[in-house]
Amino acid sequence: MNLDELVRRGPCEWEVPMRGDMRVPAIVYGSEALVAEMDDKVLEQASNVAKLPGIVRASYAMPDAHWGYGFPIGGVAAFDPERGGVVSAGGVGFDISCGVRCLLTGLRAEDILAVQRPLAEALFARIPAGVGSTGAIRLDVARMEAMLVGGARWAVDQGWGTPADLERIEERGQMPHAKPDKVSALAKKRQRDEMGTLGSGNHYLEVQRVAEVFDESIAGAFGLRVDDAVVMIHCGSRGLGHQIGTEFLREMAIAAKGFGIALPDRELACAPIRSDLGEAYLGAMRSAINCALANRQILTHLVREVFAGLLPAARMPLLYDVSHNTCKLETHRIDGHERALFVHRKGATRALGPGHPELPESLRLAGQPVLIGGSMGTGSYVLAGTARSESLAFSSACHGAGRAMSRHQAVACWRGRQVVDDLAARGIMVRSPSSRGIAEEAPGAYKDVSEVVDATDAAGLARKVAKLVPLVCVKG
Amino acid sequence: MGREPAAGVSTAMQEHWEHYEHGADIGVRGIGATMAGAFEQAALALTAVITDPVGVAVHDAIDIACEAPDAELLLAQWLNALVYEMAVRRMLFGRYRVEIDGTRLRAQAFGEPTSVERHRPAVEVKGATYTSLRVAPTADGGWMAQTVVDV
């Protein structure tokens, strides 16, 4: 990206001044090196988002931003329903509520290493992963409706997890105002066999070791010490979310003209929040959020069962569960006034600062855990929300490393077997049904997540707490 | 009639598919003598995101019909219909026959149930996006149909 087009507002803050039809400026967060490396398309897409009706304050791009669909991946934008604001299916994306959760284990890394191979095999055998895999749970119409309304709370009611888990999930595990009647029969059918499945692509389940702690006090509040073992799960709303995204993208793209919305890019398909279509999408999208929360909850239950069999000493409370691709109704202070805004985060994590009323009591002093997934080789991070993040980007932070090269380039560079062997030599045990899938997800195909996390910390979006490195990885 | 390929061009044209780069994902592109041919090739490119289409046996046929206000949305609709059928039927397709009549498409997709052992599917496609979505005549009188798919 050409830095000459940007005005530097701080060490890690860059502004694209308003021009053309932009209603607000675009703000890109990142170090000079990260922003210089970003694709020009990020600038173009962040500027396009700034043209949408009802956008408030600015269109933001996080330090891991890259070329997405309509919105950049790593994009954040808030819209005011009272000022013609829109909701965008493209601004949420296909994998609605794709996200990450982290489970503590009460175990040390050495406990994992003692059973590393059988644990990897048992997790791989128990967690349905990859193309065409199905879960053990079949939902009839009534249970499907209950799941879409109840989210993780529904899953806990079914016996998959404990009520304590719900405290540690955004919206207490249940997205309100879901409307399963706005979810098509096709989307429900596509989900029928997919509850409790990991999916493929960049989705994974890892057992990790806390390699480094940067903030002892917050890490203590999160229950993280160096050499502790944790479990990280990355997946989303599976076929149901993909189908809802597909259907509403089309409907909004066709309807935009009728709403008098000029789309700078068809992928920015959107509808006024206060319209039948906008409300239908919100009802369906919220159902998909519940589907993702229920899915991660079921996977959590499966993981706990595997651990109970091999490591009976394990105690596995949920540290936290974050979603990356969402649109949520939130209250933010704009020019001294509280306003209810619909905040889109596309490949961005909500990061509530200390004292936020939505945080459970046990996390209120420390701030929200912000879970950042990296690649198989480079590791992941736990950050904490800051008070400043609210004024910087509606309390948002980065979500992951982002790719450094395409899947094609990755396959040309590596073979799956070789990646598995290289990682094994470094003490990381990888299991996956797809060798090509592993090559496409090779560690070298991703940017170094450390740089992204450092920039996120330096920008004040979230505070660095701990670094995690994988011991076992199940790839979809 | 200007865009109708001359017979010679049509037979000389090599129908084919290809992938192109898009940051985190993959672009699928079909080149054909006709728009329908380009749609068939784009669908093969979609299969190739998941597995080598040559390795998919084509003994089961399913019918697909869709429509859209314009050719580009029709391409996205077609690819998304295939994404749906692959997901719900747990099938892969190795051959396609497409007919396009204005804004309507009727097609048959030929394939078999997904076998993890044999097909070694690399990745699941979540949906066809509208990013770099384009359906257009080519300079040599054929057609090109492309878009980026989210994986």
Answer yes or no: is pLDDT of A117 > 60.
Answer: yes
Element (H, E) at A334: strand A325-334
Whole-number Å distance between alpha carbons of A185 and A313:
44
Which domains are assigned to chain B? 19-150 (3.55.10.10)
pLDDT digits (tens, 9 = 90+) for A225-240: 999 999 999 999 999 9
For strands A55-69 and A26-29, give the pairing: parallel
Chain B residue at shortest CA distance from A438: B122
Answer yes or no: is pLDDT of A280 > 70.
Answer: yes
A196 is written with which tokens? 């409790």
Per-residue pLDDT at B4: 33
Residue A401 or A268, more confident: A268
The count of other CB atoms within 10 Å of the CB of residue A185 is: 9
Per-residue pLDDT at B100: 97
pLDDT digits (tens, 9 = 90+) for B47-59: 999 999 999 999 9
Q: How many helices (H) and strands (E) does chain A have?
A: 16, 19
User: What is the arithmetic mean of pLDDT over A119-136?
Assistant: 90
Q: Within an 8 Å CB–CB cutoff, is residue B68 touching chain A?
A: yes
Q: Rounded mean pLDDT of chain B?
A: 90
- Phi and psi for A475 in degrees, rounded to 5? -105, 140
H helix runs in chain B, sequence order? 7-12, 35-50, 71-89, 116-119
How many C-alpha atoms does A431 have within 13 Å on its Cβ side?
A: 20
pLDDT digits (tens, 9 = 90+) for A290-321: 999 999 999 999 999 999 999 999 999 999 99
CA torsion, ordered A273, B134, A95, A61, to nearest 10 deg: -70
Give the lowest-confidence range in A29-33, A61-65, A136-140.
A136-140
Q: Over pLDDT 90: what percentage of chain A?
A: 86
Whether the Cβ atoms of residue A369 and residue A102 lie closer than 8 Å to each other: yes
Whole-number Å distance between alpha carbons of A257 and A253:
8
Q: Which residue type is seen at A260? A: G
Provide the residue count of chain B.
Answer: 151
In which band, very low, low, confident or very high, does the pLDDT at B12 lie, cut at 50, 70 and 90? very low
Judge: A200–B123 Cβ closer than 8 Å, yes or no: yes
Judge: B23–A408 Cβ closer than 8 Å, yes or no: no
Q: Write out the E strands in B102-141.
A: 104-113, 127-128, 134-137
Q: Rounded mean pLDDT of chain A?
A: 95
User: What is the arithmetic mean of pLDDT over B21-43?
Assistant: 93
pLDDT digits (tens, 9 = 90+) for B62-91: 999 999 999 999 999 999 999 999 999 999
Per-residue pLDDT at B10: 39
Judge: B127–A250 Cβ closer than 8 Å, yes or no: no
Give me the residue from A39, A130, A242 closest to B127, CB to CB: A242
pLDDT digits (tens, 9 = 90+) for A342-376: 999 999 999 999 999 999 999 999 999 999 998 87
- First CA to last CA across chain A, in angstroms? 33
Judge: B116–A66 Cβ closer than 8 Å, yes or no: no
pLDDT digits (tens, 9 = 90+) for A446-468: 888 999 999 999 999 999 999 99
In which band, very low, low, confident or very high, does the pLDDT at B1 lie, cut at 50, 70 and 90? very low
Nearest-CA distance from B61 to chain A in Å?
19
Per-residue pLDDT at B9: 37
Answer yes or no: is pLDDT of A130 > 90.
Answer: no
Residue ranges per structural domain of chain A = 3-88+100-404+446-475
Answer yes or no: is pLDDT of A265 > 70.
Answer: yes
Per-residue pLDDT at A161: 97
Answer yes or no: is pLDDT of A119 > 90.
Answer: yes
User: What is the arithmetic mean of pLDDT over A39-63?
Assistant: 96
Q: Within an 8 Å CB–CB cutoff, is residue A186 touching chain B?
A: yes
Nearest-CA distance from A375 to chain B in Å?
13
Give the lowest-confidence range in A187-191, A425-429, B21-25, B37-41.
B21-25
Is the ipTM, as predicted for this complex, more than 0.90?
Answer: no
Q: Within an 8 Å CB–CB cutoff, is residue B24 touching chain A?
A: yes
Whole-number Å distance between alpha carbons of A258 and A334:
30
For strands A349-350 and A270-272, give the pairing: unpaired
Element (H, E) at A59: strand A55-69
Q: Within an 8 Å CB–CB cutoff, is residue A201 touching chain B?
A: yes
pLDDT digits (tens, 9 = 90+) for B94-123: 999 999 999 999 999 999 999 988 998 988
| Residues of A in Cβ contact (< 8 Å) with B87 | 190, 239, 242
Q: Within an 8 Å CB–CB cutoff, is residue B98 touching chain A?
A: no
Q: Which residue type is seen at B116? A: V
Q: Which residues of A463-475 are buried (b: 16+ CB within 10 A; e: fewer)?
A: bbbbbbbbbbbbb
Whole-number Å distance between alpha carbons of B84 and A391:
41
3-class secondary structure, A94? coil
| Residues of A in Cβ contact (< 8 Å) with B55 | none
Per-residue pLDDT at A447: 82
Give me the residue from A39, A130, A408 closest to B116, CB to CB: A130
Q: Which residue type is seen at A7? A: V
| Residues of A in Cβ contact (< 8 Å) with B126 | 94-95, 201, 242, 245
Judge: A408–B21 Cβ closer than 8 Å, yes or no: yes
3-class secondary structure, A113? helix
Nearest-CA distance from B76 to chain A in Å?
9
Specify whether A301 is catalytic. Answer: no
CATH of domain A3-88+100-404+446-475: 3.90.1860.10
Whole-number Å distance between alpha carbons of A121 and A115:
10
Indicate which residue of A324, A344, A399, A408 is catalytic.
A399
Whether the Cβ atoms of residue B91 and residue B113 lie closer than 8 Å to each other: yes
For strands A396-397 and A369-372, give the pairing: unpaired
Which A positions 419-458 lie with beta carbon below 8 A of chain B?
A: 433-437, 440
Q: Within an 8 Å CB–CB cutoff, is residue A93 touching chain B?
A: yes
Non-local (6+) Cβ contacts of A422 within 8 A are none
Give me the residue from B24, B80, B131 closest to A403, CB to CB: B24
Q: Over pLDDT 70: what percentage of chain A?
A: 100
